[in-house]
């Protein structure tokens, strides 16, 4: 109903409003007012644009009015089957369309973890702080420049702006640090950076000493995994789970939670079942035992 309502509101001139325009409107959130979710709108825009253009031609030919066209609306069941975009994908497309985040921020899901991983927010550093600090945020406005003079002449250094939930801070990567961390320097990458903060003219700037991806830093906070098991889980699935755990060795201990009657029993397997608790591994475990049945411990 949402996507059909969207196109019922417009008399579409194919010369000025095409599918690309509607794609951008949907990604930006401008069509959220019609209800539904953006993935369903985006998945339906091609067919509905064709229908709207057909309606326009009928009106111009005097065959019908905009709301009395013979064009057929897309079936609601087809639209409801379209899965919603993950929050990270929804926000990525929103920024792609607008140039900034409007309805959320990818860092929000990490907010509680950031409090344990950083020493300061960018807002606190802009208040006159000087010294060593660790901050976390999104990499934005990357620039690379060749050094013109001095012992590093001819080498490349980089600057970017790190944005957290309180503001932003200019950051510099000198040649040696850029060579070490260049693979992480991607637009909108979520990172933790440590370095020296000092005044540079009228601004405060950080010079990086260490840099790591935020997701990897969060993984290090995980002390273990708790997996809820159904007693009815088939033996073949248990063997799949065993093989999955042994194929991803790491430092996070795994424990199983099984309900026996009215009691919950925790079972700790052998040390060899310690794993590297990446989001990808958690997703694969949930693919065996069920969604929502894997919990990270220590966070």
CA distance 162 to 169: 5
Kindly list the distances between the CA atom of residue 139 and the CA atoms of 11, 26, 112, 147, 279, in Å, as whole numbers in the listed order: 41, 25, 19, 22, 21
More confident site: 31 or 205: 205
Per-residue pLDDT tens digits for 247-298: 988 888 899 998 877 788 888 876 677 888 887 888 899 989 888 899 888 7
Neighbours of 206 (CB within 10 A): 24
* pLDDT band per the 50, 70, 90 thresholds, residue 71: very low
* pLDDT band per the 50, 70, 90 thresholds, residue 4: low
* pLDDT band per the 50, 70, 90 thresholds, residue 120: very high
Q: Which of 218, 216, 280, 217 is nearest to 244 (CA)?
A: 280
Please tell me whether residue 244 adopts helix, strand or coil conformation. Answer: helix
**How high is the pLDDT of residue 46?**
63
Q: Which residues contact 150 (CB under 8 A, 6 or more apart)?
A: none
Pairing of strands 131-146, 190-200: antiparallel
Crossing angle of the two packed helices 19-28 and 38-60, in degrees rounded to 10: 140
CA distance 157 to 172: 8
Encode 262-289: b = buried (16+ Cβ within 10 Å), e = exposed: eeeeeeeeeeebbbebbeebbebbeebb
Per-residue pLDDT tens digits for 201-235: 778 999 999 999 998 888 888 888 999 988 777 88
pLDDT of residue 66 exceeding 60: no
**How high is the pLDDT of residue 121?**
93
**How high is the pLDDT of residue 64?**
52
- State both tokens at 211: 């840099």
Mean pLDDT of 172-196: 93
Q: What percent of the chain has pLDDT over 70?
A: 80
How much is the mean pLDDT over the chain? 81
Mean pLDDT of 31-45: 75
* pLDDT band per the 50, 70, 90 thresholds, residue 69: very low
* pLDDT band per the 50, 70, 90 thresholds, residue 103: confident
CA distance 163 to 158: 16
Per-residue pLDDT tens digits for 158-178: 999 999 988 899 999 999 999
**Chain centroid, CA 124 distance in Å:** 26
CA distance 95 to 25: 12
Q: What percent of the chain has pLDDT over 90?
A: 29
Kindly list the distances between the CA atom of residue 240 and the CA atoms of 58, 269, 287, in Å, as whole numbers in the listed order: 59, 15, 11
């Amino acid at each position: 109903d949402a996507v059909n309502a969207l196109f019922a509101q417009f008399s579409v001139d194919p010369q000025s409003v095409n599918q690309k325009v509607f794609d951008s409107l949907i990604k930006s959130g401008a069509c959220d007012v019609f209800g539904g979710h953006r993935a369903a709108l985006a998945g339906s825009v091609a067919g509905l644009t064709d229908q709207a253009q057909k309606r326009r031609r009928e009106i111009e030919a005097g065959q019908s009015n905009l709301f009395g066209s013979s064009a057929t609306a897309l079936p609601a069941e087809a639209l409801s089957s379209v899965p919603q975009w993950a929050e990270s994908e929804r926000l990525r497309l929103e920024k792609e369309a607008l140039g900034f985040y409007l309805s959320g921020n990818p860092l929000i899901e990490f907010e509680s973890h950031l409090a344990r991983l950083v020493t300061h927010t960018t807002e606190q550093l802009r208040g006159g702080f000087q010294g060593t600090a660790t901050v976390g945020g999104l990499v934005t406005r990357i620039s690379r420049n060749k050094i013109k003079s001095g012992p590093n002449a001819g080498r490349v250094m980089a600057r970017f702006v790190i944005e957290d939930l309180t503001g932003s801070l200019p950051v510099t990567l000198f040649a040696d640090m850029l060579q070490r961390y260049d693979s992480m320097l991607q637009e909108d990458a979520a990172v933790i950076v440590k370095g020296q903060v000092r005044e540079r003219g009228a601004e405060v700037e950080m010079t990086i000493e260490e840099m790591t991806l935020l997701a990897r830093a969060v993984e290090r906070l995980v002390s273990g995994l708790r997996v809820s098991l159904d007693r009815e889980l088939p033996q073949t699935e248990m063997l799949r789970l065993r093989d999955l755990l042994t194929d991803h060795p790491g430092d996070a201990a795994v424990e199983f939670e099984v309900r026996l009657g009215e009691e919950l029993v925790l079972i700790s397997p052998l040390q060899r079942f310690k794993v590297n608790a990446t989001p990808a591994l958690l997703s694969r475990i949930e693919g065996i035992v069920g969604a929502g049945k894997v919990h990270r411990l220590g966070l």
